[in-house]
Amino acid sequence: MSRALFVSKNYLSKKFNIKQPNELYKQLLKNIHLFQADELQKISSDELIHYIIFFGTHPERRNQGERAKKITLECLKQYKKKMTKNSYEINSQILLSLSNVLLYDDQMVQELVQQVDEDKETLSVKDMIKFQHCLYKLNIHNEKLSNYVLDKFLKQKEQVDYLEYIHDLHIRSNLLQMGLVDEKVILTLLKGFQAKLNSTQNSYYTSKSCFQYCQLMYNLYPEIIEKPFFDLKPNDDNIFAEQFKDLMQDYVISKQLVDRKKFYQSFEYYLNFQNMNVLKAKEDAILRSLTELEQNVQDLLNQLNYQNSRAHRVLIYDVDYLVKDNIILTCNDPVHFVEDFDGKILTINPNHVMQSRHLSATNKYKVFDINYHEWINLTEQQKIDKLKSLID
């Protein structure tokens, strides 16, 4: 839990006298009247920020889906009217909230970017990568900011750590596939990462870093997707072929760790810690429950007697539903789509595009999207017909 989320959670917990944060989240969502425009107008900017950070960054938002997005939107609309210059910590948390629930407002985002641009000399590479990642989730590629982060990487490459390289390469490698980044930029970063891997053996792995490492490898070397470890090699014409050998060892470690992770777990892995390899796995603090869309799809699959598996591991992804062993159904709730403050859908989360690309590259599965905004307008019979058309 970030410091900002901890502070906002404590503030709201005292205000509403509810100590347990998950229960606090659920109870606030039930009190819709608190988040009507006329009520929100009465509260200060500071209190609005607490609501935005709590609703937009607490893990329970994943279970609450559309309701969390709607409440966060109402708070953001009011905050926009009172928006003032804030610290990087506050600005980054507001942008994180926007990117977590996939809401975009041009004026607000540009003001946040401008304020960070003014303060960038005081920020670390890690801070800048996190901010860049938030923009990326909103499908925004700010070339000026991206170039600045690249320049800091090159000037401070001895200080840039393993996890920072992975985080940045994970973003840029997907932007490369989207045609937004030049191959030469990726190659420059890869050579720096290659030098770091050759100079010291990484000894600390997390579930997030391993997952992102696999993703960046699939972005750079799609030809290795679902290949057995003994058969891993890049195509001769792959521009990044020379770096593959040095990247492969950590890919094997990362993939093996991801394969061992269960859907509801996270882990930390320490390589050769006091002459031992130590794996620490823990259950997620927030257990994922089915969204309304997921529950509806599952009920219909069962009603139609289709063999299906929920949160089934395919490649490195826990797909929503695997049907008949070769059909993947992905349930895209409102939080999968970037929307503006008027509710207009702008685009889908770029991470979803990346996942679909990787899954399709296996050539074993047919991947279909079930989109919330289309699904809710179908009758029960139309939903059944839709599923049958995809599966049969």
pLDDT of residue 217: 97
HSE-up of 255 (CA within 13 Å, CB side)?
20
Tell me which residue of 25, 109, 117 sits closest to 67, measured CA to CA: 25
> pLDDT, tens digit, for every residue of 327-386?
999 999 888 999 999 999 999 999 999 999 999 999 889 999 999 999 999 999 999 999
pLDDT of residue 389: 94
pLDDT of residue 344: 94
β-sheet with 308-314: strand ranges across: 308-314, 317-323, 327-332, 366-371
Amino acid sitting at position 131: F
Amino acid sitting at position 52: I
How far, in Å, CA of 139 to CA of 141, rounded? Answer: 7
Average of per-residue pLDDT values in the chain:
89
Q: By the 8 A CB rule, do 227 and 278 touch? A: no
Interaxial angle between packed helices 143-155 and 125-137, expressed in degrees from 0 to 180 and rounded to the nearest 10: 150
Q: What is the mean pLDDT of residues 143-163?
A: 82
Query: What percent of the chain shows pLDDT beyond 70?
Result: 98
Backbone phi, psi, residue 20, to 5°: -75, 120
Tell me which residue of 162, 166, 174, 165 sits closest to 135, measured CA to CA: 174
Q: How many residues does the chain have?
A: 392
- The pLDDT confidence band at residue 12, using thresholds 50, 70 and 90, is very high
Query: What percent of the chain shows pLDDT beyond 90?
Result: 55
3-state SS class at 31: coil
How far, in Å, CA of 55 to CA of 43, rounded? Answer: 16
Tell me which residue of 165, 166, 130, 161 sits closest to 145, measured CA to CA: 130
3-state SS class at 271: strand
- The pLDDT confidence band at residue 250, using thresholds 50, 70 and 90, is very high
> pLDDT, tens digit, for every residue of 177-189?
998 889 999 999 8
3-state SS class at 383: helix
pLDDT of residue 251: 94
> pLDDT, tens digit, for every residue of 72-117?
999 999 999 888 777 888 888 999 999 999 999 999 999 889 888 8
Q: What is the mean pLDDT of residues 129-152?
A: 88
pLDDT of residue 212: 95
Amino acid sitting at position 220: L
Q: By the 8 A CB rule, do 337 and 375 touch? A: no
Tell me which residue of 62, 66, 49 sits closest to 12, measured CA to CA: 49
- 64 pLDDT more than 90: no
pLDDT of residue 276: 65
- Please provide the distance, in angstroms rounded to a whole number, between the alpha carbons at the two ends of the chain: 45
Tell me which residue of 263, 275, 269, 278 sits closest to 250, measured CA to CA: 269
How far, in Å, CA of 77 to CA of 99, rounded? Answer: 15
- 252 pLDDT more than 70: yes
Taking residue 268's Cβ as centre, other Cβ atoms within 10 Å add up to 15
pTM value is: 0.89
H/E element, 146 = helix 143-155
| Strand 337-340 to 103-104 pairing | parallel
Amino acid sitting at position 321: Y
- The pLDDT confidence band at residue 274, using thresholds 50, 70 and 90, is low
Q: What is the DSSP letter of 336?
A: G
Maximum Cα interatomic distance, the chain, rounded to a whole number of Å: 64
pLDDT of residue 89: 84
How far, in Å, CA of 216 to CA of 203, rounded? Answer: 19
Q: What is the mean pLDDT of residues 54-60?
A: 91
Mean pLDDT lowest among 227-236, 283-292, 339-348:
283-292
